[in-house]
Chains A and B, each alone.
Chain A
Amino acid sequence: MTSLTFARALRIAVAAASVTATAVAALPAQELALPRQSGSVRFLVLGDAGTGDREQYEVANQMIRYGRVFPFTFAIMLGDNIYGSERPQDFEKKFTRPYKVLLDADVEFHAALGNHDDPNQRYFKPFHLDGSRYRTFKKGNVRFFVIDSNYLDPAQVKWLEKELSASGSDWKIAYFHHPLYTTARRGPEVELRAVLEPLFVKHGVDVVFTGHEHIYERLQPQKGIYHFTVGGAAKLRKGDTRPGSLIAARFDRDRSFLLAEIAGDSLYFQTISRKGATVDKGVLVRREKR
């Protein structure tokens, strides 16, 4: 979708969505730190979003605000997409309504499953899991691997190895719920790391996005892989990150989400708080080019 049509679709959608229409203020273009290169792959990253609380809606409004100047065509959800009960009205309150403007603008949401998610979410079409707990899809020169970290059974590991080895994409991005590295209180999923990391290293995964911890962290590359924890799109564990050699950047004072743009061998990112402030930004270079 071009910038013009996205912006138009957003205007129409905002006008139609009374829930968010009054809350979304215009964003000065200079606040955007992403280059918006022609033909780039642009996407939104959000984790642990499905509370249905006011904070989720406020974060969603910032996504819409930034979406006007940075048109993205899809979003990756890092799990805990729907907290608590999962009745039809919960999907309405915790997903469809807060992201209505984006959904109306044809933004695709590609979800991973979290520990608070019923695995039957894989049948919910707007989550693009196509009836499977794990899957892969491609956008431009980027291959995404959606992993179910709640239940990493041998069948899934076999599938992952096969898909990773078959992928000839320039960029390989894996995303799932539980972080392999984090400084947050609950700590990393070391068992998951023992199984996944050797595969990621062997097959050249470039970036890993996870949620679960309700904070934002960007870590120093681990075995050549960039790790982000983006688990604060609705919930927050204030003050839960720790300084140290593992950390490249962290934010745990408010909710947040991330915007990403991949152009050639560079991944540009900008992390934004619930109040619309930029809390981290930068550019990463793909491992083969480093």
Chain B
Amino acid sequence: MSQIEAVSDPVGDRVGKPVAEPVIILKDIRKKYGEFEALKGVNLEIGRGEMFGFLGPNGAGKTTLIRILTGIIKPTAGAVLICGHDLLAAPDLAKGCLGYVPDRPYLYEKLTPLEYFDFVAGLYSIPHPDVLKRGEEMLRMFTLWEWRNELIESFSHGMKQKVAMSSALLHDPDIIVVDEPTVGLDPKSVKMVKEFFNSLVQRGKTIFLTTHTLSVAEDLCHRIAIIHHGNLVALGNLENLQKLSKSPGSDLESVFLKITEEESELPPHPSTQPGKLV
């Protein structure tokens, strides 16, 4: 969590207390696929300018929660508030505040990056000249400007990931939801993405990210939540998590492994009970 100190942690001191200016509120989110319950009542509040890490083993419910948060799928029960807008009642307003970068960058392969940006911008009602300007900035930053007139189908996974990331930021959203931000990126790009995320947070943007690369979460995130079997089993900064797992001084990887291994022995996290957030 050294990075947190470096960016004058805006929310670190709020751990354990209600978030002052929440931009994401999840209330008792449940999701069932037939008989299988992927999410069993998740409650969360994430504040403005917070870098929030959402971790969990495979199949724990991370991607399901992210998809609910971005409005791609609907919860079976519960409510999602984005920047004060109910995602289910006013999806257009809520989604307008969000930018989403999926873990697998499936894009329209027969378009060039600039054409793709134009398409995405239209979906978010961004004026055309702004798109071109912002698109150029993003492509230059991700060193893709020379590829602007090539079809996306010829891009590598990492390049597509950069295009997806750029398109998510076109409308300058208040909240950026990122699923596995560093998969497929080369080390230089990973460093650049980390710095870029930090700069966004400093500008008051909120970032909600999931990752299996625990060092990334440890480096970047102010707070971390761990989900296991559809339940939120831990929430807090590294120090809180170390205390919870009774492993002081350990790194996030050890804490994570301990929490997810011993999850069944731990008492349910208060945040999983409606109305009681850490």
Q: Are A and B co-members of a single complex?
A: no
* B residues in contact (CB < 8 Å) with A: none
* A residues in contact (CB < 8 Å) with B: none
